[in-house]
Amino acid sequence: MSAPTTNIPVAIPAGASSGAPAGQANRTPRTIAGSIPGARGVAERLLHGTPGRMRLFGLLGVIAAVLLGGVSANALLASQSAVERAANNSAQVVRVQSIHVDLLRADAVATNAFLVGGLESADSRARYEGAMARVASGIAAAAAAQPADGKALGVLAERVQTYAALVEQARSNNRLGLPVGAQYLTQASTGLRADAIPIVAQVVKANEERARMEFERSNSTVQLLIGVVSLIGLVALAVWLAKRTHRYLNPSLTGAIALLLVALFVTATVITGISTATRDVSRGDYERAVALANVTTAGNDARANESLTLIKRGSGAANEAAWKTNRTAVDAGLAKTDQSAELTRSWQAYVDAHVKVRSLDNGGRWDDAVKLSTSTAPGGAATTFDAFDVAVTQDRDQAATTTVATLKDLGGSAPLVAFIVALAALAASWLIVRGVGQRIEEYR
């Protein structure tokens, strides 16, 4: 007998056919349009016909209002930032030029004191140490204020230390009456001009270039041009609405355009004012400060070369030639900056004293030449030069302080104006939506 057959019932899901895989019989194919029911239809209805174009142009109008407000606010803030950077770079120029001046001032004092022989006076020693202390603090302050100058200023600090060490060796030998002291001092002065001063000049040049770029960057013409184009677009929207609806006055849209026009005008006025004032500073106090700093450095270099010419006793022709070059630089600088001629008269008094010093030295009266060069009596080279150095330094410091203070004050109201302009743009956006909405309702 055959074994009985056992039938095991199999559950088949409702609606499944024998040829379809399990779990797929009830699946309905879906499309992107089906997953978002009627999305395309809604968009078509919203943008259909004239009301649809009104909605589209209204959206573009809102975008134009926001764009105008955004670029105007950004232009204000960018202008303020440019002025702040110009102030910082100008201050750095002043710091580094002060280092330059004090280095040459220290060298002038050291070389002139060396002529006396033996132990220099307490006043000369104090002036030298004061100048070198200002150099050290100036380098530290400049490195902290402008990290981009840090590496160069670090190298400068090393060169300054080398110079100071050579000066101390020269002093020690001079106190002992050893002629080798003159060699150490000559080496120190030569090294200062060959190794340290070029670094200072490079740092000054770099910061002057940064300041010049920021002076020019304070004018945000491109941003304002974008604002004007946005405003023109809104006017075009108003004209189009007037033609389509035959309603030539839309108070809300007109108010939006007027509000944005005022915002753009205020922005342009503030930025133009900042740009004009910045340009005036760059061509006024800043230019004067830089020129007077160059005068001060050239003057102190001349004073040092006068002493070096005497120290070398007949072999200082190169130093006298350098003195004449320095004199030309001072004369040119004073011609641009000394409107009252007081500094020119003070400088001429020293030049006259120097001419007498050279006349005495060339006439074989070296001792008398040294005495006149180091004399603190009226008419002496030391007295006349010190008077000039104090006067020109005061004028330079005043011009530099005015430059930095004026630049820092410029653009102080820019953030507040930028905030107000941004609010005006938002308010104009609401007025545009309201104005276009009114025309859509009327059209229906």
Predicted confidence (pLDDT) per residue in 68-81, tens digit: 888 888 888 888 88
User: Is residue 124 a contact partner of residue 303, using CB atoms and an 8 Å limit?
Assistant: no
pLDDT for res 335: 93
Predicted confidence (pLDDT) per residue in 167-179, tens digit: 999 888 877 777 7
Mean pLDDT on 62-67: 88
Predicted confidence (pLDDT) per residue in 306-354, tens digit: 999 998 887 889 999 999 999 999 999 999 998 888 999 999 999 999 9
User: Is residue 107 a contact partner of residue 306, using CB atoms and an 8 Å limit?
Assistant: no
Q: How confident is the model at residue 1 (pLDDT cuts 50, 70, 90)?
A: very low
Q: What is the pTM of this model?
A: 0.74
d(CA 388, CA 345): 9
Question: Does the structure show a pLDDT above 70 at 7?
Answer: no
Domain positions in the chain are 54-209+218-443
Q: How confident is the model at residue 240 (pLDDT cuts 50, 70, 90)?
A: confident
CA dihedral sign of residues 96, 98, 99, 101: positive
Cα–Cα distances (Å) from 35 to 77, 85, 374, in that order, read 46, 55, 98
